[in-house]
Amino acid sequence: MSAGTYVLGDVAVNRMGYGAMQLAGPGVWGPPKDRAAAEAVLREAVASGVDHIDTSDFYGPYTVNALLREVLHPYAGLTVVTKVGGRRGEDKSWLPAQSVAELQSAVEDNLRNLKVDTLDVVNLRLWGANYKPNEESIAERFSALAELRAQGKIKHLGLSNTSRAQVEEALTIAPVVCVQNEYNLAHREDDAFIDWLAGKGIAYVPFFPLGGFSPLQSSELSAVAAELGATPMQVALAWLLHRSPNVLLIPGTSSVGHLRENLAATELVLPQDALRRLDGIESKGSILNAH
């Protein structure tokens, strides 16, 4: 992979990582639909140079971390990032789990299910509306995780679904090494935030690289992709890598074929005309939504 590296915590990782959420069953519930295929994806990712894997105990729940443990433990050369702050309801719903006791319990669960003494990175997943952060104080919750870090159970801390003000508050408590927020060609509310984080040496990990596109935006992306002989996802990922050096990607898939396509995005060169058209995708969506 030729996208380069960026320091996540105390380790330089390849900027193209892997998100393990889709290894769970349908609806991110239960064990993998195809166990052999899930194992093959993990092995292929690592063999291809992926050294940053994103996961959570509430994927499954628990089944994805169990799979990671069985296939990749002891995670030699890997940085495994997990997140706490959510849980799954019996109806497969996604629910907040934000109390100090719940956060502490989630860290212990991750330690046990990943079979490690120390978690590489733990993201506090905040619970805004529709993947948009709110501005409430996170001091109590982040302090609880900082205490577990001081105890040696966590190496590094991050935040997910967060605002700049919340990161600033967190930084008064403990270092922050990464932020995970929704960001893609069509949704760029975090543009200034990404640049601010880059200035502080904090990684930015966007999720939903193809989420929330209007038909007009999707058509433009597909046209650019066709001209470049690439898939829309490859172009979207390549644009994100081009956006800023502190952007780390974690596209997920349960298919080895799709994994290879995603990894190939690191080799895709975007000509200036293509970049100009891709940069205009957000405005096309604004025009459509205004009418």
Sorted by where each begins, the domain ranges of the chain are 10-211+245-252
> What is the reported pLDDT for 75?
98
> What is the reported pLDDT for 291?
32
- Angstrom CA distances, 91 to 27, 62, 95, stand at 11, 16, 11
Tokens 């349960």 — which residue?
254
Which residues carry out catalysis? 59
Lookup: tokens for 243 = 């956006």
Question: What single letter denotes the amino acid at residue 12?
Answer: A
**CA-based radius of gyration for the chain:** 18
> What is the reported pLDDT for 288?
41
> What is the reported pLDDT for 284?
75
> What is the reported pLDDT for 236?
97
The 3-state DSSP class for residue 251 equals: coil
Decide: 281 and 217 in contact? Cβ < 8 Å.
yes
* Residue 103, beta-bridge partner list: none
Tokens 């100009």 — which residue?
276
CA gap 217, 2 in Å, rounded:
28
CA gap 57, 87 in Å, rounded:
8
Report which of 228, 208, 213 is spatially closest to residue 268, judged by C-alpha positions. Answer: 228
> What is the reported pLDDT for 1?
64
> What is the reported pLDDT for 285?
65
* CATH match for 10-211+245-252 among 3.40.50.2300, 3.20.20.70, 3.20.20.100, 3.30.565.10: 3.20.20.100
Tell me the pLDDT of the chain averaged across its residues.
Answer: 95
Decide: 119 and 154 in contact? Cβ < 8 Å.
yes
CA gap 263, 237 in Å, rounded:
9
> What is the reported pLDDT for 210?
86
Its pTM surpasses 0.75 = yes
CA gap 244, 191 in Å, rounded:
10
Q: How many CA atoms lie within 13 A of 228 on its CB side?
A: 27
Q: Which of the residues in the chain have pLDDT under 70?
A: 1, 285-291
CA gap 253, 278 in Å, rounded:
24
Report which of 154, 158, 159 is spatially closest to residue 8, judged by C-alpha positions. Answer: 158
> What is the reported pLDDT for 231?
97
